[in-house]
Chains A and B, each alone.
Chain A
Amino acid sequence: MSAPSAGRAGWARGVALVCGRELGAFFDSAIAYVYLISALVLLTSLFMNEFFLTGRLDMTPLFDALGPLSIFLLPAISMRLWAEDKKSRTFELWMTLPLRPAQVVWGKYLAALALYGVFLLGTTPIVVMLAWLGDPDLGLVFSGYLGALFLGALLLACGALLSSLTGDQIVAFVASVLAGFLFVFTGHPKVVAVLDGMAPELGAGSLLAESVAALPRYEGFVRGLVELSSVVWFAGLAGVFLWLNAVVVTRVRS
């Protein structure tokens, strides 16, 4: 049997082993259960409130609420990815196993993404309820979930990088929340207007909204617009963060 670092199959096997261990770590402790229950209660409460007020058979209010909520929900997953290993010294254990740093980075990231996926799956009874009550636009629902997945993939990759820069989960959480604010609120129309108004010649608000903001791209998915440019933007930026994460964990040793 080849080592999990040799060849493509070995590479994927190593990533899968790390992912399985990390997912186990989430579910072996109370972290995953507390996270999933509290996040689902919060999100579905916000949705049901809107649903009872408007009576529309539409998932859009849920995805609208999820965008800003992601700023806090996703760092709660990503904060422990590396910071805990550094604090408990298991970072040395990871880095002396016959695995490439990129395999560990991907394994941990995919575990975090899988937990987020379980959270999104937890909202699917709402889709069933809407389908039972009437005829919601399932294409719109699907593209909303796709947008939520891409937004999560980006913020988790950013959070994993920030977690690798510190040995303190609280610091990782706060830094990830701030980064989330940057990604989400730089695309908010009011923030764009304020920033543009401060220096009209620079057009800083519009510039940030076009280059950094995840919100307009995410809202595109929520409104049913699946654009290749948005897919590339989310995936590309997440890839850059993961690459930087691998660079950081490699360099931390030296």
Chain B
Amino acid sequence: MIRVEHVSRDFGAVRAVDDVSFAIEAGEVVGFLGPNGAGKSTLLKMLCTFLPPTAGKLTVAGHDVEGEPLAVRAAIGYLPEHNALFETMSVARLLRFVGRVRGLVGERLAERTAWVVDRVELGSVLKKRVPECSKGFRQRIGLACALIHDPPVLLLDEPTHGLDPLQVVAFRDFIAELAPGRAILFSSHILAEVAEISNRLLVIQGGRLCLDESVATLEEQGRARGATLEQLVLERVRAAAPAEGSPGVAPEVAP
């Protein structure tokens, strides 16, 4: 579903993503961890066609991100990090607009809108304008926009940001429900949250992928070595960090 092959991305002289490769199949929920500036959002922006890679190849749902950007956009549901929404619209109009742009009309549009409103619990704010909604609701509106067309690939950048603990638990259950038949890649700073939601971890540090392992394998390794999951991940991140060290890595990866 998602294939990333030797992808790099430069911003001027800075290499934000450096020779990253991985693949995600349908049914996998993959957590994408790393400190601020590690390259998580840059990689997600490349997968959703917003940024072109400097080198390498990205394929989403069988479509080349560079060659078939519209097919890729049609196949993904994307929740960006800052989750900017059209501020002048009401939630209902925003969902209807996104649904129509996604090719939904008539009964199908009504059916999908009702489904996301129910599943993401937006019923109480449907008539409100976007700026009148709380941060948690805005995050849910963004998620509803990402899901309205029932995409086979979900790219979620910090999806639990702004959600309260109960909403985080609900989100975790929701992702588990969505997972069958779908490839889900979501980024986060919080290891415990990622480990709970996902069945595989990708950790990026300084633009390079330093860990790509299933959560089950990591937990097994932890049991064998008497180490926690957190300790194992931090060990790999520190090993990948530059010699001078990378300020702020440990606290940001830790829960």
Using CB atoms, name the residue of chain B closest to A95: B50
**Which stretch in B102-110, B217-225, B227-235 binds the other chain?**
B102-110
Q: How far is the CB of A254 from chain B (nearest CB, A)?
A: 5
Cβ-defined contact, A24 with B51, below 8 A = no
A90 within 8 A of B: yes
Q: How far is the CB of A80 from chain B (nearest CB, A)?
A: 11
Q: How many A-B residue pairs have CB under 8 A?
A: 75
Interface size on A, residues (CB 8 A): 26
A17 within 8 A of B: yes
**Which stretch in A35-43, A62-70, A97-105, A214-222 binds the other chain?**
A97-105
A3-30: CB near B (< 8 Å → 1, else 0) gives 1111000000010010001001100110
Using CB atoms, name the residue of chain B closest to A29: B88
Give the residues in chain B near A24, CB-CB below 8 Å. Answer: 88-89, 93
Cβ-defined contact, B108 with A1, below 8 A = yes
A96/B48 contact (C-beta < 8 A), A25-B86, A88-B84 known: yes
Contacting residues of chain A (134-148) with chain B, CB-CB under 8 angstroms: none
Cβ-defined contact, B88 with A17, below 8 A = no
Give the residues in chain A near B45, CB-CB below 8 Å. Answer: 92
Q: How far is the CB of B99 from chain A (nearest CB, A)?
A: 10
Q: How far is the CB of B88 from chain A (nearest CB, A)?
A: 4
Give the residues in chain B near A14, CB-CB below 8 Å. Answer: 101
A1/B49 contact (C-beta < 8 A), A25-B86, A88-B87, A98-B74 known: no
State which of A4, A90, A99 has its C-beta within 8 Å of the C-beta of B85: A90
Contacting residues of chain B (35-83) with chain A, CB-CB under 8 angstroms: 45, 48-52, 70, 73-74, 76, 78, 80, 82
Cβ-defined contact, B102 with A98, below 8 A = yes
Q: Within the assembled complex, what's the spacing in Å between the Cα atoms of A2 and B100?
A: 10
B211 within 8 A of A: no
Q: Within the assembled complex, what's the spacing in Å between the Cα atoms of A92 and B82?
A: 10
Q: How far is the CB of B98 from chain A (nearest CB, A)?
A: 7
B22 within 8 A of A: no
State which of A89, A96, A100 has its C-beta within 8 Å of the C-beta of B82: A89
Cβ-defined contact, A92 with B50, below 8 A = yes
B115 within 8 A of A: no
B97 within 8 A of A: yes
